[in-house]
Structure 1
Amino acid sequence: MFMVYWTEGGLSEGDAPAFSRCFPSDDMSGALRFMEELRTRQRGGEAISFITMSSENPQSVGHPGVADPSADYDWKKRRR
């Protein structure tokens, strides 16, 4: 799944509402096209900023983020 995030409006503190739009995992091209549409509007003078995309891989084998390894993890460095 892909999420596109952006803000519209003023850039003063607390004055720029945030928006998001979701795209399915097989539509990265659609997400990129939408981001380019936002950037085109931004270049045209509209108060749009912080255009970014984030993704989540549903086939990831591990949990997202940083954590200590589990107790049964026994990796050893090959060289001493």
Structure 2
Amino acid sequence: MFVVYWLEEGNASTATARFERFGDEDMTQALAFTEALRKKQAAGGDVSFVTLCSENPRSVGKAGAADPPAGYAWKKRRP
């Protein structure tokens, strides 16, 4: 899944957080949407803090750092 997050400036010091979700197979559309928002921002539009996040629901392991499996023997190679 892909999610694009951005802020839309309001009056004075207020801004509204927005997001748009895209499916697992819609990376191209998510990138195009992000690029359109960034172009709007560059043209002086009321958009800021544009970012694209992804999460792979079919990930093999847990997200983040974890202990190596039992029996794993790491060795530093020297040239």
- TM-score of the superposed pair, with normalisation by structure 2: 0.76
> 1:43 aligns to what?
42
**CA distance in structure 1 between the partners assigned to 2:70 and 2:5 by the alignment:** 37
Structure 1, unmatched stretches of 5+, are none
Runs of 4+ with >2 A deviation: none
- TM-score of the superposed pair, with normalisation by structure 1: 0.76
Q: Tell me if 1:60 matches 2:55.
A: no
In the TM superposition, residue 58 of structure 1 has moved relative to its aligned partner by 1.7
Q: Tell me if 1:25 matches 2:42.
A: no
Q: Tell me if 1:5 matches 2:5.
A: yes
In the TM superposition, residue 54 of structure 1 has moved relative to its aligned partner by 0.8
Q: Tell me if 1:75 matches 2:72.
A: yes
Structure 2, unmatched stretches of 5+, are none
Pick the structure with more strand per residue: 2
In the TM superposition, residue 63 of structure 1 has moved relative to its aligned partner by 1.1
Aligned alpha-carbon RMSD (Å): 2.4
In the TM superposition, residue 45 of structure 1 has moved relative to its aligned partner by 1.6
Q: Percent identity?
A: 45
